[in-house]
Amino acid sequence: MNTTIEELITALRNVLPENQVTINQTILEQHSRDESYHPPSLPDVVVFPTTTKEVSNIMKIANKYKVPVVPFGRGSSLEGHVIPYNGGITIDFSLMNKVLEIRENDFLVRVQPGVTRSQLNKELKKYGLFFSVDPGADATLGGMAATNASGTTSVKYGGMRDQVRDLEVVLADGTVIHTGNLAAKSSSGYHLNGLFVGSEGTLGCITELTLRVYGIPEYILAARASFPSVNDAVKAVVSILQAGIPIARVELVDEHSMKQVNMYSKTDYKEKPTLFLEFHGNEAGLKQDVEFMKEIVANHNCESIEFETDNAKRNQLWEARHNLAYAYVRGYPGRKLMVTDVCLPISELAGAIEHARDALNSLGLTGGIVGHVGDGNFHVLLMIDMNDPNDIKRAEEFNETIVMYSLERGGTCTGEHGVGVGKQKYQEKEHGKALLVMEKIKQALDPNMILNPNKILKMK
Amino acid sequence: MNTTIEELITALRNVLPENQVTINQTILEQHSRDESYHPPSLPDVVVFPTTTKEVSNIMKIANKYKVPVVPFGRGSSLEGHVIPYNGGITIDFSLMNKVLEIRENDFLVRVQPGVTRSQLNKELKKYGLFFSVDPGADATLGGMAATNASGTTSVKYGGMRDQVRDLEVVLADGTVIHTGNLAAKSSSGYHLNGLFVGSEGTLGCITELTLRVYGIPEYILAARASFPSVNDAVKAVVSILQAGIPIARVELVDEHSMKQVNMYSKTDYKEKPTLFLEFHGNEAGLKQDVEFMKEIVANHNCESIEFETDNAKRNQLWEARHNLAYAYVRGYPGRKLMVTDVCLPISELAGAIEHARDALNSLGLTGGIVGHVGDGNFHVLLMIDMNDPNDIKRAEEFNETIVMYSLERGGTCTGEHGVGVGKQKYQEKEHGKALLVMEKIKQALDPNMILNPNKILKMK
């Protein structure tokens, strides 16, 4: 193998400037892990392309030497997506980080894959625009497309797949394709945008994205509502949705997690099951919606509700919510994060969260429950002691219980984090014979199985 | 071939009741055409399955005999999608026309593919719900999914692909799969929902659909606004969108087409370029939006604007719009309909429509221009004399001019009608090397090329 690696590196150095190919141990280690409990594994080499042409050349070499290729954004994945368990080449996209074009009249933006969410929003603000997908982490847009990320705003604006108009993708053999166009809709040919979004680097490498953006709403109203129980809070959300009140964000944070929020963000929010809500629209419309909403939450035993129109205070509120995962990580030094990510039909959500809480209790685990409850998606955050095999075992047992509950009720094992290696074992149960179709597509597009191997699908 | 056909029919009669397999000439002829100018071609046999199991058995036989299979809904396609140019088996889904389940709390409905749009909406109304996709024609939901249909409401609610949560699909070898689940979002595995929607029966046969539905809005306001020119009307729409006013529908009908509307629907609307608009929301919000919108249209030389909140009158207005294609067909007896269907980024729309009008004039053609202008999608309706080769030639030349204009500006050759046979010649220009990816997927999933052959992709 060593000779091959040497040959490989020589070949890479032939197509890339020297400082863009590295086997520096520290850099290899930085690319050996993500933000989750999944064990690290080193790539053989890390490359930092600056152009699509360079990516294409890298891929041609990888395909020739039949060496795995793992695309890497910020490493904020939660299911081991970027961990190179089979070694090979990690392509770090941090040098491809330019906002290439803002077509403000078309509500479109064209970016390189290494642009982060916050970087893009900073640029867009100058035009009165914003990018809607907000997974919490300041991930790269390439990474977010690769996992079909979503988050707090998807209840109104949808996830990544809903924003992608076109991708430039480098295929396994180095061919460069475009998967879409700039039109708002199309019925021309197979929906390759949708196929490549969420394919986690297993079908190709994204080198450019054209994304839909939105005008910053005329009026934004945020609210924080406390409830005596998680069940009341969830039922309030279901009622709000059923009343047809258009929510832009709705997040559930349970009492346990509110405590973490307060500790980490130095806030003094009530340590009760809480909904963080946001509404986008015009002032008259929102006022009418909010009156209706107040009645609904009152019917579900809401104990207090506070509104926030001030921009800075609203941002503080959402920042507290976004910092939650980090709050847990900081609160449990030495432990690793495991996050469940099921998503169910909304009518099953209250039952699923109750089931999760019971399962936590019966397994003697400590975990916080938070969720994008407008989508039927919730997370249980577990802090695992990786030195305690029993702790790992219980956490995995818990994860499996949660997933099975969801799959039996028409849900999915992952609403937004993706499969990576962590959710692979549930793919057959979730997709049945459709998994064979996925395998055929993978084989057709990556016959040498070099693209992020053993992610999503297990190679046979 | 005749012996094979006889064998085939015997095999089909072994798995289907006798009255579900027919070679009756009238029925073959009914399945030889769609609503367009594309020349008819007879299937060898038409089958009427009632269950997924029957469809699976039909497919196994087709695959064994390597005989083409064409799924057929209502035959309302506009690009020859359902015309069996290679003969074989046409599967008519008219007996699979049941609404199977309405999950009102989940805003989901499960239907068989032969259910029509109006049939579904009639059922949903009892629950205060509606299905949003409205292509005009009362097509089947299976057919609408197969072409990724959209229409008047997609500016707010999206097209078919945005509504499909799950499909039951019978693959080429008879295997039955499910492409999705009931959750609002998922990052689990490849996005097969998106791949099968819009695949026009070339990857599998849809035997069941789970679709997203919406609550009937609290308040609906419709408007009809006349402008001195198409250009003014289009620019008004672009300004309304840029102002962030949420339109639920916006249709442009040019002066020529308004005349057809009046003749056919016995209305006395002004025969001027007209926008048909609709807004969904709460009363207070809409009132504020409408005040803003009035200012915007006035700035674009709007000559008159009339509002309609009355349900019956609103329906009359939309019925007039929907009847437009039929108005043309009736207005030109003996001629056949050719409809262009490009979709462009919204900033290119005004120029594209102006270009289309100029091209009509310079080719000496008569045609009406209408469009889902909120999406950047417009149609030119041409009535062709199929006995005049010169007329056909000019119309095809026109179509090509329109498509090239769109493709050069980041648009698509078809916003909602699909490729069928009519838009096949533009696929390479539109998709470039991505077409090779589509071909690989087709080969992987349909190695015997039996599924609606020579639609979308040309077989080699």
The answer, for B175 touching chain A at a CB cutoff of 8 Å, is: yes
The answer, for A284 touching chain B at a CB cutoff of 8 Å, is: yes
Considering only residues A70 and B371, tell me which one the structure prediction assigns the higher pLDDT: A70
Can you tell me the mean pLDDT for B414-419?
Answer: 98
Out of B147, B188, B416, closest to residue A430 by CB? B188
The C-alpha angle A323, A145, B434, rounded to 5 degrees, equals: 175
Tokens of B52: 């997924």
From first to last of its 460 residues, what are the pLDDT tens digits of chain A?
456 889 999 999 999 999 999 999 999 999 999 999 999 999 999 999 999 999 999 999 999 999 999 999 999 999 999 999 999 999 999 999 999 999 999 999 999 999 999 999 999 999 999 999 999 889 999 999 999 999 889 999 999 999 999 999 999 999 999 999 999 999 999 999 999 999 999 999 999 999 999 999 989 999 999 999 999 999 999 899 888 898 999 999 999 899 988 988 888 899 999 999 999 999 999 999 999 999 999 999 999 999 988 888 888 888 888 888 888 888 888 899 899 999 999 999 999 999 999 999 999 998 899 999 999 999 999 999 999 999 999 999 999 999 999 999 999 999 999 999 999 999 999 999 999 999 999 999 999 999 999 999 998 7
Tokens of A449: 């199985």
The answer, for B371 touching chain A at a CB cutoff of 8 Å, is: no
Q: How far is CA B299 from the centre of its chain?
A: 34
What is the structure's pLDDT at A1? 44
Residue from A185, A234, A372, A407 whose CB has the most chain B CBs within 10 Å, to mutate? A185
Asked if A430 and B181 come within 8 Å (Cβ–Cβ), the reply is: yes
What is the structure's pLDDT at B3? 60
What is the structure's pLDDT at A3? 60
ipTM: 0.96
The Cα–Cα gap between B16 and B31 comes to: 19
The Cα–Cα gap between B76 and A21 comes to: 56
What is the structure's pLDDT at B61? 97
The answer, for A296 touching chain B at a CB cutoff of 8 Å, is: no
User: Exposed, middle or buried, B444 (CB in 10 Å: 0-12/13-18/19+)?
Assistant: middle
Find, in chain B, the residue whose alpha carbon is nearest to that of A162. Answer: B162
> Which residues of chain B does A427 touch, with a Cβ-Cβ cutoff of 8 Å?
188-189
Residue from A148, A161, A188, A403 whose CB has the most chain B CBs within 10 Å, to mutate? A188
Find, in chain B, the residue whose alpha carbon is nearest to that of A292. Answer: B282
Can you tell me the mean pLDDT for B136-142?
Answer: 94
The answer, for A363 touching chain B at a CB cutoff of 8 Å, is: no
The Cα–Cα gap between B269 and B258 comes to: 7
Nearest CA of chain A to the CA of B342: how many Å? 9
What is the structure's pLDDT at B1? 44
The answer to whether residues B49 and B20 touch, using CB atoms and an 8 Å cutoff, is yes
> Is the predicted pLDDT of residue B317 greater than 90, yes or no?
no
Domains present along chain A, CATH in parentheses: 2-94 (3.30.43.10), 99-215 (3.30.465.10), 219-325 (3.30.70.2190), 333-419 (3.30.70.2740)
If pLDDT is split at 50, 70 and 90, which confidence band does B330 have? confident
pLDDT in tens, B166-220: 999 999 999 999 999 999 999 999 999 999 999 999 999 999 999 999 999 989 9
The answer, for B327 touching chain A at a CB cutoff of 8 Å, is: no
Considering only residues B137 and A200, tell me which one the structure prediction assigns the higher pLDDT: A200
What is the structure's pLDDT at A2? 54
Asked if B177 and A434 come within 8 Å (Cβ–Cβ), the reply is: yes
Out of A158, A414, A440, closest to residue B187 by CB? A414
The Cα–Cα gap between B297 and B301 comes to: 7
